A and B are shown apart, each in its own frame.
Chain A
Amino acid sequence: MDVEAVFAGLSQAASTITGLRCNPFVPDSIAVPAFFPAEVDIDFDQAFAGGMDRFVITCRVMASRADDRTGQAKLKGYLARVGPQSIRAALSADRSLGGVCDSLHVQRASGYGQYEHAGTIYYGAEFTVLVIGSGAA
């Protein structure tokens, strides 16, 4: 399982949400609303002979703070379980991310609040995504 491919798959999946600007990396500067995989923890060798690795990926979504009510309303839409703005639903639509992993689970959304990114404050939240796949690939 390739980290770059998984990040790209998550970004691609989230980009199905209309208006959400997605990157497969942490961008130096962002145009909100923005989504990107930010951090990853990897547990190697969850099965013999590299049969499975386990990624826990933290993805971040940022919304504008120009207007408090509008920005937070948009962020809440991204946190919905289902619906056209739901990041959980978008990431879960194809749990193999086009074949780059075996399965994924959007485990939680957390950290609803304000985030500083490149010197600017945004409304934001984090998604924790468990991704499993072959370590041999």
Chain B
Amino acid sequence: MAPLVLINTRLFTGGADLTSRSNKVEITSEAEDKDATTFGSGGWKELLGGLVASEISAEGLWEAGAPGLVDDEMWLDLGGLGPFTACPDGAAVGQLAYLTKTMTGKYGIGGAVGDIAPWQAEAKSSWPTVRGLLAHPPGTARTATGTGTGQQLGAVAAGRNLYACLHVLSVAGTTPSITVAIESDDTNGFGSPVTQLTFAAATAVGGQVLRVPGAITDTWWRPKWTITGTGGPSFLFALSFGIQ
């Protein structure tokens, strides 16, 4: 990916697509440095990596009044744990995505008279921050059961996990329900798919984050969704996944 002007960065937290109401996002991951210097270190410090943590900060333009808008979502998330996904340049399937389970620790609003009402938020990772891919685009409405495009994430080694963040962004219908799962297989044909993780059935706007431990030798991964309900059930959702 070439150097990039941040214009089309996509940002999802919980059941909110904050993209068009955010104008800054920063993700910082840092490992503690642990001193392991000895008399045998030849006069140079020796360091070992300690605990790793990520911090996320974002800000933008305040909006409120419905589930999925920034103010509604942030008050819901404050102090809680939930999914976070950021895509540097668009949200097409296969785009680079950073995802994690975050604890939203700070949310600020308000400004001076005449300002465009702002918001600022900070969150800290509760699970590893994963450099993965977008598995399902946020702008494609799903009205019937189906599967998505396969992505070759690779195998999950022992001691590592497959992580996935689901952001259900809109729900329509009389009794709508969607159950999203992640399937794996050893080829892109998905001739014998295996369901590796399944999110709880979603009937409203919201987010979920799951992980499944390795070892899993399959290298191809795709989303699967099962939709039920009456009154024309329809869903918009974003799904990101990756291995860490």
Interface residues of A (CB under 8 A from B): 45-52, 54, 103, 105, 107, 130, 132, 134, 136
Contacts and interface: CB of A to CB of B under 8 A. Distances in A.
Nearest to B9: A48
Contacts of B25: 48
Given A48-B23, A51-B60, A52-B21, 17 more contacts: A46-B61, A46-B116, A47-B21, A47-B22, A47-B61, A48-B6, A48-B7, A48-B9, A48-B11, A49-B19, A50-B8, A51-B19, A51-B22, A52-B20, A105-B114, A130-B114, A134-B20
B97 to A, nearest CB: 14
B10 interface: yes
Contacts of B8: 48-50
A132 B118 CA distance: 13
Contacts, number: 51
A96 to B, nearest CB: 14
Interface string B1-44: 00000111111000000011111010000000000000000000
Main secondary structure of the interface of B (DSSP, over half): mixed
A49 B20 contact: yes
Nearest to A103: B116
Interface string B220-232: 0000000000000
A130 B117 CA distance: 13
A47 B114 contact: no
Contacts of B22: 47-48, 51
- Most B CB contacts (10 A, CB to CB) among A45, A48, A107 go to A48
Contacts of B10: 48-49
